[in-house]
Amino acid sequence: MILIKNARVMDPESGFDQVTDILLDGKRIRQVGKVDDVSGIEQVIDASGMIAAPGLIDVHVHFRDPGFTYKEDLQTGSAAAAAGGFTTVVCMANTKPVVDSVDIYKEIEDRCEQLPIKVWQAAAVSKGFEGKELTDMDALYEAGVRGFTDDGIPLMDEKLVEEAMKKAKELDVPISLHEEDPAYIKQPGVNQGKVSEQLNYGGASYLAEAVMVKRDCELAVKTGAKVDIQHISSGVAVDYVKEAKEKGANVYAEASPHHFTLTEEAVLKYGTLARMNPPLRTEEDRQRIIKGLQEGTIEIIATDHAPHSKEEKDKPLDQAPSGITGIETSLALGVTELVEKGYLSMMQLLEKMTINPAKLYNMEQGRLQEGKPADVVLFDPEEEWEVKEYKSKATNSPFTGWKLKGKVKYTICDGKIIEL
């Protein structure tokens, strides 16, 4: 048993927020409240000055395993996640081979059982990520898959998307969508606007995202499916999600820390480290994303943790791959950019990183309550630290060298303290 003493215990689902103790008994939380009887307790953590929250949940990561393990693998990805305070993550299906069959899923799932955190593997919507034919979603669900996505590639066939949504609704699982219509992309990774003009780089228009979000929100209204709009980047897309919710659609939206922290100007400063799909956009877009987080249009903060090798990112802007790592800086960016600046309360930030992602995937995690999984993050909201060393194999982050507030001190998963 582990006793956490004197923590500011915050549970976003119940709204519980007070300085008290937590007793972890094996894989479950036995008690939240002052613990007087210390018999049988193996370890005591004095968490004075720390916040105790449910272990963070990231529903959008790339651990690159199998197929691209020179960038990241399940072990290094899990270590990076734990360092960032995450106890549960959902890996995207754009591995090599693509996770589009039960055999491939099972091979990954078997290896995930050995990891220090909970790693859920999503499966592809379409066979081979080709966007032409649905995977056997029933069989994949029977095998344990709890979410479907072709993340990295947009699904252009509207009829196929509608079919997938109907099946997802039947199985009561989310379908997560990467919304970028190639018709509006001259060159990916950089917003089409003043910075792309300055760099003489074609860029990707906000319309690439907007037209597909509009389409899929309408399909969500029609089918009743639980739809997750991934890494939302434009104000117009936020407005479409808000409209769809008002019509009764079961639509969720994710914002990644880079989209609420940076704008297209970052490309001038950080080069390929600020190249991502969808791209960083204008200050107006960034502010609309923050407003979306405030009003609840965007319920989830998810990193889209996308590791690449240094050699790849050192290529010219038009040749480097898109994406940045993010799982080790996510909480601190939320504290620094959203809480410290008065946009969100600490409870609202935690809600978007614990209970809301848990609800998207129907998880029992994300709750700091008696009887729930013993998944806890302890962090010091006041401690400032410099971003410099990574547990990830990759270092492709524009935030290297930044000073951020909010330092993870302990990550506990299934009642076991993970070495950070």
Name the nearest CA neighbour of 118 among 43, 56, 29.
56
- What average pLDDT does range 213-238 have in this prediction? 98
CB 176 within 8 A of CB 228: yes
408: left (phi over 0), alpha (psi -120 to 50) or beta: beta
Grade residue 320 by pLDDT with cuts at 50, 70 and 90.
very high
Above pLDDT 70, what percent of the chain? 100
CA gap 360, 251 in Å, rounded: 10
304 is catalytic: yes
Grade residue 116 by pLDDT with cuts at 50, 70 and 90.
very high
Name the nearest CA neighbour of 334 among 235, 261, 420, 238.
261
Instruction: Walk across the sheet containing 175-177 and list its strands.
Output: 148-149, 175-177, 227-229, 251-255, 300-301
* pLDDT(48) > 90: yes
Classify residue 143 by burial, with Cβ atoms within 10 Å: 0-12, 13-18, 19+: middle
* pLDDT(101) > 90: yes
- Give the tens place of pLDDT for each residue, 382-409: 999 999 999 999 999 999 999 999 999 9
CB 146 within 8 A of CB 93: no
Grade residue 213 by pLDDT with cuts at 50, 70 and 90.
very high
- Give the tens place of pLDDT for each residue, 168-203: 999 999 999 999 999 999 999 999 999 999 999 999
* pLDDT(86) > 90: yes
Q: Which residues contact 138 (CB under 8 A, 6 or more apart)?
A: 167, 171
In sign, the C-alpha dihedral spanning 313, 336, 14, 241 is negative
Beta strands in 28-97 (DSSP E): 28-32, 43-46, 51-54, 56-61, 86-91
Q: In the predicted model, what is the mean pLDDT of the chain?
A: 98
Compute the CA torsion angle 161, 321, 198, 187 (nearest 10 deg).
Answer: -40
Residue 38 is predicted with a pLDDT of 87
- What average pLDDT does range 312-321 have in this prediction? 98
* pLDDT(241) > 90: yes
Please report, for the chain, how many H helices and E strands are present, in that order.
14, 16
Name the nearest CA neighbour of 98 among 146, 24, 132, 149.
149
- What average pLDDT does range 95-105 have in this prediction? 98
What percent of the residues of the chain are helix, what percent strand, and what percent coil, each to the nearest 5? 35, 25, 45
Identified catalytic residue from 65, 181, 304, 380:
304
